[in-house]
Amino acid sequence: MNIVKGECCYEDKELEIPVIVHKLQALSERMKDSSSKLPHVKSDLSKFLSGYNGEKSLEFHLTFLQNDLYHILHDVRLHDGERFFQIDVLIISPFFAVIAEVKNLSGHITFDGKFSQLIQTKNGQERAFPDPLLQVQRQITQFRAWLKKSSLPQVPLHGMIVMSNPYSVLTSTDYEADNLIVKPPSLLSSIDTIKKQYDKPFISQKELKKLTKQILIQHELDERPILDRYGLERTDIINGVFCPECKSFPMRRIYKYWTCPRCSCRSTSAHLSALKDYYLLFGKTITSKQLREFLMIDSYQLATRLLQSTPT
Ligand SMILES: [Zn+2]
């Protein structure tokens, strides 16, 4: 049985909440508080959410780019022939393309060129991150390889590091790529500066459309099971329908209603979010036995009826 009927299609690349965020939210809610892996899952969830919020804060500034000249693609994941690579924001025009790596870090940020690292100082604590310049350079190499593999024309590629947190304080030491680091309000002028380097386009509007279309066709979501990522077993996941009001579980199915033993809330549709959790954690297929176990119901007929009435 399929929880999701039909295949999803992704025809545009506007910014949306990444699937990994939905998966980690479902996972963190369905892990036991005592699990030693819960802090790791919660920390990853906040990291991915912060990344999404960073990109979200760029959206406003990107709307000022001429939409007949630039195509903007968020969160693109492509295969270069050897491995996957992910680009936060790809801005393409007939003249050039910009690969932007977005970092939503707060506090005092130092770009350290000598040791190729980024140091965040926050609340008196220092933390090191990999140099985003190396990430962008790798993405440029991989995007170039992808263009070649896809028999598409090469366009000049520029990297950009966007520090999206408006309150972060930026400094650098021995960093050769200072000019590539921007905050969202100066994104537009940085793109204009790049544009001035080019008198004529490298590809036609038709080729640009073809290129964008190919990116959307070849974009692939990371479908690796989320439980594998943390070495979790099915038995580590809490079964049951959660109460939409007080979040306690499991709700009991009494006649036509899901009923919460704690707050007495009644619902006819509380199983839908449980089914969504199942889909995010285990995939789109489910057997009748798995469904009954997960919803904690005994009746085969009820299980079939609930699944058949699930909206696509
Ligand atoms: Zn309740």
16-42 residue pLDDT tens: 899 999 999 999 999 998 899 999 999
Do the domain assignments include residue 94?
yes
Are the C-beta atoms of 67 and 74 separated by less than 8 Å? no
155, 48: one domain:
yes
Question: 176 pLDDT exceeds 50?
Answer: yes
Please tell me which residue, 6 or 230, carries the higher pLDDT value: 230
Rounded to the nearest angstrom, the distance between the alpha carbon of 175 and the centre of ligand 1 is 55
Mean pLDDT of the chain: 91
**Calpha distance 37→32 (Å, rounded):** 9
198, 250: one domain:
no
Domain end among 160, 189, 218: 218
Question: 159 pLDDT exceeds 50?
Answer: yes
Q: How confident is the model at residue 1 (pLDDT cuts 50, 70, 90)?
A: low
Q: CA angle, 264 as apex, 27 and 234 as ends, to 5°?
A: 20
Query: Can you say how many angstroms the Cα of residue 69 is from the centroid of all Cα atoms in its chain?
Result: 26
Q: What pLDDT does 183 receive?
A: 95
Are the C-beta atoms of 310 and 275 separated by less than 8 Å? yes
Are the C-beta atoms of 261 and 270 separated by less than 8 Å? no
Q: What pLDDT does 6 receive?
A: 36
37, 178: one domain:
yes
Rounded to the nearest angstrom, the distance between the alpha carbon of 251 and the centre of ligand 1 is 8
Rounded to the nearest angstrom, the distance between the alpha carbon of 235 and the centre of ligand 1 is 24
Do the domain assignments include residue 78?
yes
The number of distinct structural domains making up the chain is: 2
245, 164: one domain:
no
Rounded to the nearest angstrom, the distance between the alpha carbon of 9 and the centre of ligand 1 is 36
**Calpha distance 172→190 (Å, rounded):** 18
209, 279: one domain:
no
204, 284: one domain:
no
Domain end among 159, 183, 218: 218
256, 298: one domain:
yes
pLDDT in tens, 194-248: 999 999 999 998 899 999 999 999 999 888 899 999 999 999 999 999 999 999 8
Q: What pLDDT does 312 receive?
A: 64
177, 248: one domain:
no
Rounded to the nearest angstrom, the distance between the alpha carbon of 292 and the centre of ligand 1 is 21
Q: What pLDDT does 7 receive?
A: 36
Question: 310 pLDDT exceeds 80?
Answer: no
Q: What pLDDT does 308 receive?
A: 81
194, 144: one domain:
yes
192, 262: one domain:
no
